[in-house]
Amino acid sequence: MKGIARVTRLAGAVCALATGCALAHGAQAGTSADELLGDAQRVLQQIDAGQYATVWQDTAPFVRAKYSTDAFQQGLAQSRTGVGSIDHRGWASVTRLTYTHDKVVPDGLYANVDYATWLTDGRIVYEKVSFQLGSDGRWHFTGYEPRQSQGVAPQARTGQP
C-alpha cells in the first residue's frame, strides 16, 4: 500500500538522518530516557493492539500535515502486520538528536527508541519508534520502523512510490 511506503519512508528519514545531520543534545526538559521509554512502550502497546487511530491522535503535527489519517493508519497496520507474533521485546538504545536546517523534518529535538524483538517463531526483528519533542514539552510520535537487521534501513518495495 502507498500508506506504508510513506510512513516507512518518513520514519526512515527521521531515523536515518540521525547519522547525517544531527547533533547530540544535552539533558533538558523532555529528554529523560525513562520518559522516552515509557512513551515508546505505550505506543508499541497501541500498535500491537491495532489502535492506530489512537497513535494518530498523538502524532507530531508535521507528520499529520503530510499524510491523511487513512494512509497513516493503513501504513502503520501494514508495517506491524509484517512483524508477526511477538513473544517479547527489550529496548536496545535511546538516541536524542537535534535537527536544524533539514529538508525532510522540521527543526527540533527528536528521539529514537530502538528495540530487539523476539517473535514466537524464534526470529528476532528490530523495531524503531521515533518521536519529536513538541512545544508542549511532550514527545509526539513520528514513525515506526520494523526491520530484519539492526542498523539497516528497510529496502524500498518494488512498485511503491
Closest CA to 104 of 135, 130, 68, 139: 130
Report yes or no on 161 lying in a domain: no
The CA distance from 45 to 53, in Å, is: 13
CB–CB of 80/146 below 8 Å? yes
CATH code of 32's domain = 3.10.450.590
CB–CB of 60/134 below 8 Å? yes
Report yes or no on 155 lying in a domain: no
Q: How many domains does the chain have?
A: 1
CB–CB of 114/127 below 8 Å? yes
Report yes or no on 154 lying in a domain: no
pLDDT at 26: 42
CB–CB of 79/4 below 8 Å? yes
pLDDT at 56: 97
Closest CA to 96 of 110, 82, 115, 77: 110
Q: How far is CA 85 from the centre of its chain?
A: 19
pLDDT at 86: 96
Q: How far is CA 26 from the centre of its chain?
A: 21
Within a 13 Å sphere around the CA of 66, how many CA atoms are in the beta-carbon half?
19
Report yes or no on 81 lying in a domain: yes
pLDDT at 22: 37
Report yes or no on 128 lying in a domain: yes
pLDDT at 27: 45
Question: Computed from CA positions of residues 19, 125, 83, 89, in that sequence, does the dihedral angle turn out positive or negative?
Answer: negative
Q: What is the DSSP letter of 27?
A: -
Report yes or no on 46 lying in a domain: yes
* Domain residue limits at 133: 2-147
pLDDT at 104: 86
Report yes or no on 153 lying in a domain: no
Backbone angles phi, psi at 85, to 5 degrees: -85, 125
pLDDT at 2: 44
Ranges of the chain with pLDDT below 70: 1-31, 151-161
Report yes or no on 118 lying in a domain: yes
